[in-house]
Amino acid sequence: MFERYYRELLGFLSRAVKDRDTAADLAQESYLRVLAAQQAGRPVKNPRALLYGTARNLVIDQHRRAAVRAEAIEPWPDDGEAGLEGLAGPRAREPDAVIAGREDLAAVIATIDRLPPRCREAFILHKFDGLSYAEIAARMGISTRTVEMQLRIAMDACWRCLDERGGAESAAPPRGRRRHADP
């Protein structure tokens, strides 16, 4: 598994954290966690999906740690006007919001896994590998128009999944506007 996905995962993480060394550390941690899950006897049906899900969570943790460090450097207000309201954390860090976010992520990953094979391949090449429509078309031997249609199908499936879960309020495009595969 390491040889098969390492370069791909490292590229994904490098784009996400903008630092090759940090990306390498996160890739190693991702592999360690997936290996630990396998050794714990938990069945892993799709190791690549688990690897990317783990890597995504580690990137989120990395960004959160950086934000916390940045907040710790900022001085506290001296005037005391902020009161206790200033001490409350963001809603996104509350346990129920974190759990809901993880459940939404798992549902979207399951939705991606259920896509038709060519549609899933185009989606992964675009969203995870960062390839353009033209690069995907060349790699898959299809037209860019077909790539666009496949990505639209995949994105619509992901949006529907989030809509059904009620987790798309903040991320969904406004109603009435056509959803596009490429933001």
Per-residue model confidence (pLDDT) at position 74:
64
Specify if 139 maps to a domain.
yes
Helix axes 144-165, 117-127, angle to 10 degrees: 90
pLDDT at 1 over 70: no
- Rounded to the nearest 10°, the torsion over CA 42, 53, 169, 64 is 110
Query: pLDDT tens digits for 46-79?
Result: 888 888 888 899 889 888 888 887 777 765 555 5
Question: Is the domain of 10 the same as that of 73?
Answer: yes
Question: Is the domain of 107 the same as that of 70?
Answer: no
The segment with the largest mean pLDDT, out of 3-7, 15-19, 63-67, 87-91, is 15-19
Which of 53, 77, 101 represents a domain boundary (last residue)?
77
What is the mean predicted confidence (pLDDT) over 32-37?
Answer: 85
Return the biggest CA–CA distance within the chain. Answer: 64
DSSP state of 142: S
Question: Is the domain of 154 the same as that of 103?
Answer: yes
Query: pLDDT tens digits for 141-183?
Result: 999 999 999 999 999 999 999 888 885 544 445 444 444 444 4
Which of the two residues, 59 and 81, has the higher pLDDT score? 59
pLDDT at 88 over 90: no
Per-residue model confidence (pLDDT) at position 36:
84
What is the mean predicted confidence (pLDDT) over 28-34?
Answer: 88
* Token duo for residue 123: 């989606």
List the CATH number of the domain containing 121.
1.10.10.10
Residue 91 identity (one-letter amino acid): R
Number of domains in the chain: 2
Specify if 83 maps to a domain.
no
Whole domain around residue 141: which residue ranges? 90-166
> Helix %, strand %, coil % for the chain, to 5?
70, 0, 30
* Token duo for residue 38: 């396998």
Task: Please count the residues of the chain.
Answer: 183
Q: Count of CB atoms within 10 A of residue 182's CB?
A: 11
Query: pLDDT tens digits for 93-130?
Result: 777 777 888 888 888 889 999 999 999 999 999 988 88
Specify if 181 maps to a domain.
no
Read off the pTM.
0.44
Query: Distance between CA atoms of 183 and 104, rounded to whole angstroms?
Result: 20
